[in-house]
Amino acid sequence: MTGRRVGGVARTVAIVVMVGLTIFPIYWMLVTATTDTSRLFLDAPDLLPNFGHLAAFAAALDDTALLLWLLNSAIIAVGTTVLTIATAWFAAYALSRYRFRGRGAFGLALFATQFLPEVFLLVPIYGLFLTFGLLNRLEGLMIVNAAFVVPVATWLLKTAIDAVPREIEEAARVDGAPRLAIQISIVAPLVLPSLAAVSVIAFFHAWDEFVFALTFISKADLRPASVGIASFVGELTTPLDVIMAASLIYVLPTLIFAVFAQRYVIGGLVAGSVKG
Amino acid sequence: MTITLTGVTKQFGAFKAVDNVSLSAGERDFVVLLGPSGSGKSTLLRMIAGLEDVSSGTIEIGGRRVDQMEPVERNIAFVFQTYALYPHMTVRRNIAFPLIMQRARGWHHLPFIGSIFKRRIERMPEVRERVESVARSIGLDEMLERHPRTLSGGQRQRVAVGRALVRNPTIFLMDEPLSNLDAQLRVEMRAQITRLFGQLGKTFVYVTHDQVEAMTMATLVVVLDHGQVQQIGTPREIYEHPANEFVARFIGNPPMNIFVGRRRGDRIAIDDGGPVLALPEHVRRQTADGAVLHVGARPEDVLVTPGSSGAGTAATVSAIERLGPETLVGIVFGENWQRRYGETSVEDFARLGGYSTLKPGDRIEVRFNEDRLSFFSPETGQSYSAPATIQSATAEALP
């Protein structure tokens, strides 16, 4: 075998191991969800899913409010994504294109917010939400989730906008495009990959979020799925197979969203506008 | 449309990128802003376009004051050095874009839904016909559905010109549009732009650092340096009667040879041991006997004959560049003549017609075309110009 072949094989092995490590938890969820409770704690557990046994899925869908919780999660995630892009876009554009006093400090401050743990801010935000009547409201979760994603989103978008040549915007100005239209129909399409990346980050952050939802939502029918599924864990019994079945259903939309968004997270759109 | 600039200044902090520029261009002028990099020529063009604010001074287009207006209100077209095409749009949409913007209402700019309306505008018969006729006129009609990234440099350049043409603007502004093209394409596009200028009969303002473009395309050349106008004139005036030493050295390749001389009565003695040349009457009137002058001679006014018969100043060939139709001869004057101009040694050049057989080291004799020399003040660098040229230069500068 030549050196190149060895390198290729090593790389393939490494990739297989990584993919295996990533996929195994999801696979094990599937196995657990399709195994009868009585067989879950054997010394030699079943290693293959048993598709004949789907009772846990039926239980998760019929006996719990899972679908409602998923809907709540979806509303929060979409709302967070829209709010994040609407806010971060203009911040990023301003940071990239305008010179103003304190621009550098502002950029650093955005980074600094990332060092604060969420739990640290739980109590102050709770007080704030109490005052504004945002407790037990999905809008409240959208706002708090967006607040934690916007700094990252702003940086991502700023970097992308930096790469769009100013001349393209100036050409549009000469051609009579209003300023906002330039951002929407010229700059935004050119940073589509970054917009897609930001959407993915915001959506997943909101979809996965647990601590704020647990603290701010006390009404059962307003729970997102993350909190809802956690509520299966009982004091006396924990229906592992139902939890795993519900979790699988919970993971599914994110997989679909990721595949959809991945199509756009590919660079190279700016090629050809100016001499390269 | 006429363009009139009055005292236009652009300041970045304490730095004046454009310093008190006044000029006026007529209805059918091809104005070339020419200068080295950092001379403020692009900034000046961008101020005319409205892409850059004016710190002080006024800009009028067709007698209408425009310096506070948005670019689109000035009804100008701008061709960028980098073309600045919209990479995500087809050639058709790129060219149609100004027309779409003219017809679009506010809510047509919304994301997603807006694109439906923009497509509808693009398909309106009048828009479609206009775009296609412009594309035909610049030879792009086969490429309307392609994206800019699939086009060659020259084709992208033509799309940029097409986008400028489609709106039928009153003034064309171009910022070094040819500098990204290879040499052959540049000559081709130069001819095409000149032809366009002839057909349209509109005012063009064109920025370049390439003096060949300035000499071949312009009806009016504005030479800039350090943000200040050095000279305004026709290409011929600029070449034959440079207003100062900067223009003399900047225009022409190789640049004008400059010698230091001292007035001796009605003649001028060059350096120590150099030739004694005739001094024109208008220079004599402006200088005193014994005054030090700088004397400029274009390479074609430096006449070289082989041998050493004693009829001219003895010199040696230091370098030869044979360009085909002409030959450039580098000259080192004899030991008797101490060259004094400039801080470092300046090489002098002569231009000979045809393919010269001279070679480095050959002994030659040099004479000057004495009625075609330029004379400059060593203190100010300004030319002691003939009365006629003073008049024509200032007439352009101060309307």
Dihedral over Cα of B296, B299, B300, B302: its sign: positive
pLDDT reading at B350 higher than 80: yes
Percent of chain B with pLDDT over 70: 93
pLDDT reading at A229 higher than 70: yes
pLDDT reading at A2 higher than 70: no
Instruction: Identify all chain A residues contacting B131, using CB atoms and an 8 Å cutoff.
Output: none
pLDDT band at B36 (very low <50, low <70, confident <90, very high): very high
Number of A–B residue contacts, CB under 8 Å: 99
Q: Determine the residue among A98, A174, A273 to mutate to test chain B binding: the one whose Cβ has the most chain B Cβ atoms within 10 Å.
A: A174
* Interchain CB contact of A217 with B (< 8 Å): no
Predicted pLDDT of residue B342: 58
* Interchain CB contact of B150 with A (< 8 Å): yes
Instruction: Identify all chain A residues contacting B151, using CB atoms and an 8 Å cutoff.
Output: 272
Residue B224 · residue B41 · CB < 8 Å: yes
My answer on whether A35 and A136 are in the same domain is no
**How high is the mean pLDDT of chain B?**
88
* Interchain CB contact of A165 with B (< 8 Å): yes
Residue B246 lies in a domain: no
The CATH number for A258's domain is: 1.10.3720.10
Instruction: Identify all chain B residues contacting A269, using CB atoms and an 8 Å cutoff.
Output: 87-88
Residue B398 lies in a domain: no
My answer on whether B348 and B305 are in the same domain is yes
Residue of B82, B114, B153 lying closest to A165 (CB–CB): B82
Residue A269 lies in a domain: no
Predicted pLDDT of residue A275: 39
Last residue of a domain, one of A29, A53, A77: A53
My answer on whether A46 and A166 are in the same domain is no
What is the arithmetic mean of pLDDT over B338-353? 72
Instruction: Identify all chain B residues contacting A184, using CB atoms and an 8 Å cutoff.
Output: 109-111, 114
Selection from A124-128, B279-283, B330-334 with the highest mean pLDDT: A124-128
Predicted pLDDT of residue A267: 46
pLDDT reading at A199 higher than 80: yes
Contact B72 A170 (CB under 8 A): no
The chain B residue lying nearest A175, using CA atoms, is B98
Give the pLDDT confidence of B185-236 residue by residue, as tens digits.
Answer: 899 889 999 999 999 989 999 999 999 999 999 999 999 999 999 999 999 9
* Residues spanned by the domain of A47: 3-53
Contact B106 A189 (CB under 8 A): no
- Token reading at A43: 């010394």
Give the pLDDT confidence of B19-29 residue by residue, as tens digits.
Answer: 999 999 998 89
Residue B337 lies in a domain: yes
Across A125-129, B295-299, B313-317, least confident range:
B313-317
- Could you give the CA distance from residue B264 to residue B268 in angstroms, rounded to a whole number? 5
Residue B245 lies in a domain: no
pLDDT reading at A4 higher than 80: no
My answer on whether B331 and B262 are in the same domain is yes
pLDDT reading at B77 higher than 50: yes
Contact B101 A181 (CB under 8 A): yes
Predicted pLDDT of residue A239: 85
pLDDT reading at A273 higher than 60: no
Dihedral over Cα of A180, A184, A187, A191: its sign: positive
Q: What does the buried/exposed string (b/e) look like for B161-189 if buried means 16 or more CB atoms within 10 Å of the residue's CB?
A: bbbbbbbebbbbbbbbbbebbeeeebeeb
Predicted pLDDT of residue A274: 46
Predicted pLDDT of residue B309: 75
* Interchain CB contact of B111 with A (< 8 Å): yes
Contacts of B71 (CB under 8 A, 6+ apart): A170, A173, A174, B49, B50, B51, B78
Residue B236 · residue B221 · CB < 8 Å: no
pLDDT reading at A261 higher than 90: no
My answer on whether B262 and B224 are in the same domain is no
Residue B396 lies in a domain: no
Q: In angstroms, what separates the C-alpha of B103 from chain A's closest C-alpha?
A: 10
Predicted pLDDT of residue A264: 66
- Return residues 29-68 of B near A (CB < 8 Å): 49-51
Contact B109 A181 (CB under 8 A): yes
Residue B105 · residue A181 · CB < 8 Å: no
Contact A165 B180 (CB under 8 A): no
Last residue of a domain, one of B205, B240, B275: B240
Neighbouring CB atoms inside 10 A of B290's CB total 9
Which ipTM was obtained for this model? 0.83
Residue of B50, B101, B148 lying closest to A175 (CB–CB): B101
Give the pLDDT confidence of A116-152 residue by residue, as tens digits.
Answer: 888 888 999 999 999 999 999 999 999 999 999 999 9
My answer on whether B123 and B41 are in the same domain is yes
- Could you give the CA distance from residue B228 to residue A78 in angstroms, rounded to a whole number? 57
Q: Is the peptide bond before B254 cis (omega within 30 degrees of 0)?
A: yes
Across A219-228, B120-129, B289-298, B308-317, least confident range:
B308-317
The pTM for the full model equals: 0.82
* Interchain CB contact of B169 with A (< 8 Å): no
* Interchain CB contact of A159 with B (< 8 Å): no
Contact A273 B101 (CB under 8 A): no
Q: How many domains does one find in chain A?
A: 2
Give the pLDDT confidence of A141-196 residue by residue, as tens digits.
Answer: 999 999 999 999 999 899 899 999 999 999 999 999 998 999 999 999 988 888 88
Contact B78 A274 (CB under 8 A): no
- Token reading at B258: 């400059």
**Quick one: which of B256, B258, B174, B163 has its CA closest to B214?**
B174
* Residues spanned by the domain of B226: 3-240
pLDDT reading at B386 higher than 80: no
